[in-house]
Amino acid sequence: MSSLQPVRGTHDLIGETQRRFAHVIETARRITGLYGFDEWATPIFEDTRVFKRTLGDTSDVVSKEMYTFEDRGGESLTLRPEGTASVCRALVTNGLTQSLPQKVFYAGPMFRYERPQKGRYRQFHQIGAELLGAAEPLADAEVIAMGRDILQALGIARDTVLELNTLGDLESRTAWRAALVTYFSERRDELSSESQNRLERNPLRILDSKSPQDRAVVEDAPLISGFLTPLAQTFWDDLRKTLDILGVGFRENPRIVRGLDYYSHTAFEFVTERLGTQGTVLAGGRYDGLVSEMGGPQTPAIGWAGGIERLSMLLEEAPAAPRPVMVVPMGEGAAATGLTVLQALRGAHIRAETSYRGNLKRRMERANRLNATHAIVIGEDEVARGVVQVRDLDRGEQTEVAMDQVTSFLHGLSQDA
């Protein structure tokens, strides 16, 4: 039998990879906390309608990327392809639509049946934030600034550019959509067959097409800016003004429409040139219609999601592996004392390890492999005298320390450092 492999497009997170992931999530959790966001966790799978209803039948995600299956009870379930729809569903089903605003942070795996390549996987991971119940452009600006702060805290803000667009309100979009249909219909033959399809069902999506053939036609397509209602124009002006006040730099990009159907007004992407074509690391927008699609009251909302894989790849260096203290009991007579010291260290919040077998040499080799800071060597003589030998493995110095002073001795060292 050939050996089992991970499913195509999935990967194990181990060692340095996992430390990079954890660092991205912890940083995002900390920064969103500063903005008053609370963490939510929703199920990994949902009733298929949660996504079908909201993402739009013509979106790439719903039309070809969802992992949908029937369970043994005959219900259609879908592994979540993104977090926003689930958060809106949770807002409604937990009766929170009357306690607004809600500020939500989440992190976790998402699933899309895509062609795997660097920066694009079938199980991937996102951090995300949703601010539900605020209609003001100030909310959009704050949520975008929070994304920028996370990139800054990760040390990668300089590698990214914020691209910003408005999709206007429904009235603006309806007029723009009509102009797009007219324009694309005239050049129908130049479009990819996929975009010819989109022309009937969702012409905005053509602007988002990655096919080079479509890109050429998209070049000259009418822009939303010519169709903004006075209200939508004011919103757009206020957003840019507020971003200026917050010191968030951006580049206007009229081509940004985002991959999902539910956006209005603000759409934005933080992009980098360091990851080839998978250059969008954190993206989002305003989705005022989504909560009502989910059966709740009309609720304005704005949010974003960031790809943890892509953010991790941009990190300059992986967070260092934590260094333990190694307890090395020598001989039967030191075993019990070794265990006591080990637990005392852990009780004092010091990462401590021991090896389960082997002579002094083998045990010291393991200490080196784990990059231990210290070895605490305990022989029968030490047990009799109530002391231990603390060996500093970086400097090669050894100090005799009273057994009940070990943790304070090590704490003292880490304070000196």
Q: Which residues are annotated as a binding site for L-histidine?
A: 82-84, 112, 126, 130, 258, 262-263
Min. distance of Cβ 135 from Mg ion in angstroms?
28
DSSP, res 352: E
Cβ-proximal residues to 138 (8 Å cutoff; 6+ apart), any chain: 238, 242
Nearest approach, Cβ of residue 111 and ligand ATP (Å): 9
CB-wise, 37 or 124, nearer to ligand ATP?
124
Cis peptide before 101 (omega within 30 of 0): yes
Distance CA 213, CA 397 (A): 68
Residues shown for the chain:
417
Looking at 280, 312, 337, 354, which residue binds ligand ATP (CB under 6 A)?
280
Q: Which residue is nearest to ligand ATP (CB)?
A: 307
Q: Which segment (116-124, 140-148, 176-184, 216-224) binds ligand ATP by CB under 6 A?
A: 116-124
Which of 21, 105, 121, 235 contacts ligand ATP by CB under 6 A? Answer: 121
Sequence-ordered list of residues with C-beta below 8 angstroms from that of 345, at least 6 positions apart, any chain: 325, 327, 352, 406, 407, 410
Contacts with 117 (C-beta within 8 Å, 6 or more apart), sequence order? 278
* Stretch of 111-119, 132-140, 225-233, 369-377 contacting ligand ATP, by CB under 6 A: 111-119
Q: In sequence order, what DSSP letters do the residues of 275-301 get, joined into one string?
A: TTT--EEEEEEE-TTHHHHTTS----E
Question: How many Å apart are CA 316 and CA 9, to the nearest integer?
Answer: 24
* Nearest distance in Å: CB 209, Mg ion: 12
CB of 161 to ligand ATP, least distance (A): 14
Give the integer Cα–Cα distance in Å for 232 and 242: 15
Binding mask 40-79 for Mg ion (x = CB under 5 A): ----------------------------------------
Q: How far is the CB of 60 from Mg ion (least distance, A)?
A: 6
Q: In sequence order, what E strands does 142-263 have?
A: 160-166, 251-252
Q: Is residue 253 a contact point for ligand ATP (CB under 6 A)?
A: no
Using CB under 6 A as the criterion, what x/- string covers residues 307-326 for binding ligand ATP?
Answer: x-xx----------------
Contact positions vs ligand ATP (CB under 6 A):
82, 112, 114, 119-121, 124, 126, 259, 278, 280-281, 283, 305, 307, 309-310
Contact positions vs Mg ion (CB under 5 A):
259
